[in-house]
């Protein structure tokens, strides 16, 4: 059995999957913040409960928002204060008496989608999350490509390509990103960026869902805004796809639920790719909130 933990600042979610990658059981508990010992104990208790329930020694994978293993062997995760700065991977492996694998949660998202029953036939899968932030991951032959510091797939912190300014106007101010840089793709392609662009052009403070609702009601400004946003997304993706050349692109995050974006991208991408290139298959994510658990569990599938 494969155990996948999706650990966030407020909850720890465990999903148990069988050899056919089917969910058999899941449980959620609050993330402990009182201390490292309590954090480890919460994970151990969940693993022991799963072991007992299924009479196995399950294989444990963990997805976390941050760097699972830094140069000194410790975890970096700002929203997990009880465990950040601690050697979580090593300590948990010792505590449980088995190898524990850890990955960045965005890589787990991509891994979950790459192991979808239909998608698993694609050798190179790129996942792109368009949500509160912009991130993603790359999966090659069923295995996440992490990079030396687990930042492969941090697409949102690449700079806007120069052609993006042709779409939004060269006088459009560039926004400072949470990473401290200015002009990151995340500042305009995230849900917040989607809303900011609308406010910049139309001087109305609306949320992304409100703008999409107006688009559905055929509001002229919302329609114009969405067309501009799809063109901007296509410009940015043109650069990413030229570098990665995936067989499949899976879009996740809140904006991926706006099906018009997914439907329009293939034709909008063509001008931004090399003449010999072709847009990959583009699909919305199929596993939603379960992606973190699934991807973490599937860290052991490539043995």
297: closest CA among 25, 45, 32, 11?
Answer: 25
135 is in an annotated binding site: yes
pLDDT higher than 80, residue 303: no
Residues above pLDDT 90, as percent of the chain = 96
For the 2-110+290-299 domain, the top CATH level (class) is: alpha beta
- Residue of higher predicted confidence among 16 and 151: 16
129 is in an annotated binding site: no
Domain pair 2-110+290-299 / 118-285, same fold: yes
Mean pLDDT of 262-284: 95
201 is in an annotated binding site: no
Tokens for 160, please give them.
């806007």
Q: Residue 253 — pLDDT band, cuts 50, 70, 90?
A: very high
5 is in an annotated binding site: yes
178 is in an annotated binding site: no
10 is in an annotated binding site: yes
∠ Cα 273 154 23 (to 5°):
105
Mean pLDDT of 206-212: 97
278 is in an annotated binding site: no
Q: Which CATH architecture has domain 118-285?
A: 2-Layer Sandwich (3.30)
pTM of the shown model: 0.94
At 1 the pLDDT is: 97
The answer to whether 280 touches 241, Cβ cutoff 8 Å, is yes
Mean pLDDT of 249-257: 96
Please report, for the chain, the start and end positions of each structural domain, with discontinuous segments joined by +.
2-110+290-299, 118-285
pLDDT digits 0-9 by tens, 158-185:
999 999 999 999 999 999 999 999 999 9
133 is in an annotated binding site: yes
pLDDT digits 0-9 by tens, 26-56:
999 999 999 999 999 999 999 999 999 999 9
Q: Residue 288 — pLDDT band, cuts 50, 70, 90?
A: confident
238 is in an annotated binding site: no
8 is in an annotated binding site: yes
Q: Residue 302 — pLDDT band, cuts 50, 70, 90?
A: confident
The answer to whether 6 touches 63, Cβ cutoff 8 Å, is yes
pLDDT digits 0-9 by tens, 78-123:
899 999 999 999 999 999 999 999 999 999 999 999 999 999 999 9
At 16 the pLDDT is: 98
72 is in an annotated binding site: no
60 is in an annotated binding site: no
**Alpha carbon distance 106, 119 (integer Å):** 17
At 149 the pLDDT is: 86
Mean pLDDT of 234-249: 97
Which residue shows structure tokens 């052009």?
201
At 193 the pLDDT is: 97
112 is in an annotated binding site: no
235 is in an annotated binding site: no
Mean pLDDT for all residues in the chain:
96
- Tell me whether residue 171 is exposed, middle or buried, using C-beta atoms within 10 angstroms of its C-beta: 0 to 12, 13 to 18, 19 or more: exposed
Tokens for 146, please give them.
């992490």
At 289 the pLDDT is: 85
Mean pLDDT of 275-279: 94
157 is in an annotated binding site: yes
């Amino acid at each position: 059995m494969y155990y996948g933990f999706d650990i966030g600042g407020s909850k720890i979610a465990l999903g148990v999957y069988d050899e056919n990658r089917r969910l058999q059981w899941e449980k959620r508990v609050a993330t402990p913040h009182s201390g490292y010992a309590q954090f480890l104990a919460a994970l151990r208790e969940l693993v022991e409960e799963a072991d007992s329930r299924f009479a196995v020694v399950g294989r444990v994978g963990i997805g976390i928002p941050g760097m699972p293993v830094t140069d000194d062997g410790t975890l970096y995760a700002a929203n997990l204060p009880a465990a950040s700065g601690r050697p979580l991977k090593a300590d948990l492996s010792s505590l449980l008496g088995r190898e524990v694998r850890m990955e960045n949660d965005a890589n787990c998202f991509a891994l979950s989608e790459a192991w979808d029953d239909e998608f698993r036939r694609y050798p190179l899968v790129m996942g792109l999350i368009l949500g509160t932030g912009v991130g993603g991951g790359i999966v090659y032959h069923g295995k996440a490509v992490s990079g030396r510091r687990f930042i492969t797939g941090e697409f949102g912190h690449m700079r806007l390509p120069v052609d993006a300014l042709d779409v939004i106007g060269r006088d459009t101010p560039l926004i400072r990103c949470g990473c401290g840089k200015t002009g990151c793709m995340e500042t305009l392609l995230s849900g917040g960026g989607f809303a900011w662009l609308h406010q910049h052009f139309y001087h109305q403070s609306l949320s992304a869902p409100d703008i999409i609702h107006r688009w559905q009601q055929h509001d002229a400004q919302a329609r114009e805004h969405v067309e501009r946003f799809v063109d901007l997304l296509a410009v940015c993706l043109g650069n990413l796809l030229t570098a990665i050349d995936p067989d499949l692109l899976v879009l996740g995050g809140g904006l991926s639920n706006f099906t018009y974006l997914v439907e329009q991208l293939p034709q909008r991408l063509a001008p931004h790719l090399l003449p010999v290139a072709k847009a990959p298959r583009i699909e919305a994510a199929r596993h939603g909130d379960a992606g973190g658990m699934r991807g973490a569990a599937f860290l052991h599938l490539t043995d």
